[in-house]
Structure 1
Amino acid sequence: MKSLNWFSLLSVLLITLLLQGCEPAKDDTRVQEVLLQGKTMGTTFTIKVFVPIEKMQSMNLYSEVTDVLAQVNQSMSTYIPDSEISLFNQSRTTTPFQISDDFRTVVAESIRLGKSTQTLDVTMGPLIDLWGFGPDKHPVNIPADDLIKEIQKRIGVDKLTLTEQGLAKSIPDLEISFSAIAKGYGIDKVAMLLEQKNLTNYMVEIGGELRLSGKKANGDEWVIAIEEPDPTLDERVIHKRLKPGTIAVATSGDYRIYYQLDGQTFAHIISPVTGKPIIQDLVSVTVLSPSAMTADGIATALLAMGTEQAKMYVETNNIPAYLISKTEQGLATYSSPAFAPYL
């Protein structure tokens, strides 16, 4: 009888140990890399996020991420007839137009950057369309100067007023386009979603713009590459690799999106001053900022400035920026003082 009790006790202990072995440890710190990919804003998105194993089953990240991006697109895409921005553009009144919180955030930053840089102008939608970089096809003929000047009279962020009631325009047919800033805002919104779930190790990319946070599961830092700005290359070549840490990265260039007409090459960056595509020595700009929206907007603005003006702007405003310019001797590079630590 005594031996039977010992046998029963040992059996109970063995079963208990086996059950404990089947349960995950309460302090389990293992993570799973989750890869999310899809289409948004006329381009693609790629998201890598490291999720604790214990949270995997309770999350439906893909659905939540695509919902966030769909909301941004529905608000800011000029390709959607009933989007928020399309309805604003279609309105022909100078009274405040009621807008969402997302729209308010983007238009406020657009006005701020527009006034600061003088080269980022979200009201240039008609000019972008005129030159064939919007929903319309490339023009058959080079637009006439008189037509360009007529359109220029109807643009300018100074003609936008943000009030508690909404967004007002001083010219009834004024139109806006967030093509230079909306992707960045979409990235920021996804990053906010992840951080609300206490997911702080991630990489969010939309159309080549990035926002990075934390590190990979093995402790390695995120590594990004700046592309060699040469459209004649058959394959994309890495110009420089960076480990920027937790920050957003935006690169703008005029070497990929362009067309030729009447023997001339027209790039997709339009100058609000001339009303024409830029012809500059600056071919690639990379900007770092805590906000992908801000980095996206500044990169576009710098490209339209040209090398010397861009250098002055980033130095005056302490902006981390890396510029690549074309010279008679080949490509020349410049790192702003604020960018130096990232090299």
Structure 2
Amino acid sequence: MGTTFSIKYYARNAHDNEDISNNVNSILREVNSKFSTYDKESEISKFNALKSNTPFKMSADFKYLINKSFSLNELTDGRYDITIDPLLKVWGFYSKQKKIPTENEIKKTMQSVGIQRLIVKNNILIKNTDNVRINLSSLAKGYAVDLISNYLNQNNITNYLVEIGGEIRTLGKKNNGSWIVGVVKPYSSKYQSQINFKLNDLAIATSGTYHNYIIYEGEHYSHLIDPISGKPINNNIISMTVITQSCLDADGLATALELTGVEKALKIADRKNLPVYIIYKRNNKINTIASKSFEKFVKINGVKV
């Protein structure tokens, strides 16, 4: 997954600690073997290398994330789309040499973009167009957090915090107190928190545009691409934080809602009772806004650090 991870838990003895460490690493290797686009032998890389109309048998994990991506695509009216990988490439996010593509280059690349180019039949996935490439990185980290959390649950570890690339899930307590997490304050020289709160038996994920972008001729271009226009989003959202029971859901929703913009994200969050916290820029000022569920959550769990 190309990121860092941290797991804090209370083991019964040193032997348990060694077993847990080995099994956690095994889970991470398994996730990478399915979803890493850097590994040419991974499940996702094998699918991406196929020609159109070639049946591809999916593992259970792979199918689960594919189905989740279709649900998020529907929720966002097509803004969340796992087939944008060719657009990321043409915009230079996979290259040291940054450049802005021409309208013709974008138009040509768009011929391989769109979730409608994927066909799911039971355990079979088919691309109906050549050069379609998928990327599940906006789901894989959260899914890995859930898999590790489930493993700890099965082994009667009742107090833990699992974090992969900033996506977090907790259970129980830390030293007889609550796990305290925060949303990073954008552009701070040190990792300062914008807001802090207790997170017990829940998951949290944040998607942001202030770390991953390219600069070309003085302009900032976000790594989040609108699959409808073929261009980076420009909706003023700096970061989107979502709290749910499942880290997979929090991870996917954070990216998906960020793509929709402030107003629509809040409408979706309030309709689904999702705790959502948005940091955005307007008139060159940084502002924050939250869903009704998040405001209720913070009233109960907010802390000053």
TM-score relative to the length of structure 1: 0.82
Residue 322 of structure 1 contacts residue 336 of structure 1 at CA under 8 Å; is this kept in 2? yes
AA partner of residue 157 (structure 1): I
Q: CA deviation at 1:321?
A: 0.5
AA partner of residue 303 (structure 1): E
The structure showing larger relative contact order (alpha-carbon pairs under 8 Å, at least 6 residues apart) is 2
The residue that corresponds to 1:78 in the other structure is 37
C-alpha separation between the residues in 1 aligned to 2:86 and 2:183? 31
Residue 39 of structure 2 contacts residue 45 of structure 2 at CA under 8 Å; is this kept in 1? yes
Residues 1:265 and 2:225 are matched in the alignment:
no
The residue that corresponds to 1:68 in the other structure is 27
Q: CA deviation at 1:144?
A: 0.7
What percent identity do the matched residue pairs reach?
37
Secondary structure of 1:181's aligned partner: helix
User: Deviations for 1:122-170, whole angstroms, at most 9, x for unmatched residues?
Assistant: 1111111222223x3343x310111112212221122222222421222
AA partner of residue 116 (structure 1): L
C-alpha separation between the residues in 1 aligned to 2:167 and 2:160? 14
The residue that corresponds to 1:223 in the other structure is 180
Q: CA deviation at 1:189?
A: 1.1
Residue 110 of structure 1 contacts residue 122 of structure 1 at CA under 8 Å; is this kept in 2? yes
C-alpha separation between the residues in 2 aligned to 1:212 and 1:81? 33
Residue 115 of structure 1 contacts residue 157 of structure 1 at CA under 8 Å; is this kept in 2? no
Residue 243 of structure 1 contacts residue 342 of structure 1 at CA under 8 Å; is this kept in 2? no
Ranges in structure 2 where 5+ consecutive residues have no aligned partner: 299-305
Q: CA deviation at 1:199?
A: 1.4
Residues 1:161 and 2:110 are matched in the alignment:
no
C-alpha separation between the residues in 1 aligned to 2:203 and 2:97? 32
Deviates more, 1:308-317 or 1:186-195: 308-317
Secondary structure of 1:180's aligned partner: helix
Residue 250 of structure 1 contacts residue 292 of structure 1 at CA under 8 Å; is this kept in 2? yes
Pick from 73, 76, 79 the counterpart of residue 119 of structure 1.
79
User: Deviations for 1:283-338, whole angstroms, at most 9, x for unmatched residues?
Assistant: 11100111111111111112222211211221222221011111227222111112
User: Deviations for 1:193-216, whole angstroms, at most 9, x for unmatched residues?
Assistant: 111112122111011111111112
Pick from 241, 245, 250 the counterpart of residue 286 of structure 1.
241
Pick from 44, 51, 55 the counterpart of residue 4 of structure 2.
44
Residues 1:195 and 2:153 are matched in the alignment:
yes
Residue 112 of structure 2 contacts residue 130 of structure 2 at CA under 8 Å; is this kept in 1? no
Secondary structure of 2:10's aligned partner: strand
Residues 1:206 and 2:164 are matched in the alignment:
yes
Residue 125 of structure 1 contacts residue 175 of structure 1 at CA under 8 Å; is this kept in 2? yes
TM-score relative to the length of structure 2: 0.92
Residues 1:313 and 2:239 are matched in the alignment:
no
AA partner of residue 224 (structure 1): V
Structure 1 residues 238-253: aligned runs within 5 Å: 238-253=193-208
Secondary structure of 1:205's aligned partner: strand
Deviates more, 1:102-111 or 1:332-341: 332-341
Instruction: Please identify runs of 4+ aligned residues in structure 1 that moved more than 6 A.
Output: none
Secondary structure of 2:267's aligned partner: helix
Secondary structure of 1:109's aligned partner: helix
CA RMSD of aligned residues (A): 1.6
Pick from 123, 130, 138 the counterpart of residue 90 of structure 2.
130
Q: CA deviation at 1:253?
A: 1.0
User: Taking structure 1 as reference, are residues 327 and 93 closer, same or farther at Cα in structure 2, changes over 3 Å only?
Assistant: closer
| Aligned length, in residue pairs | 296
AA partner of residue 311 (structure 1): L
AA partner of residue 121 (structure 2): T
Structure whose alpha-carbon radius of gyration is higher: 1
User: Taking structure 1 as reference, are residues 248 and 169 closer, same or farther at Cα in structure 2, changes over 3 Å only?
Assistant: same
Deviates more, 1:236-245 or 1:82-91: 236-245
Q: CA deviation at 1:58?
A: 4.4
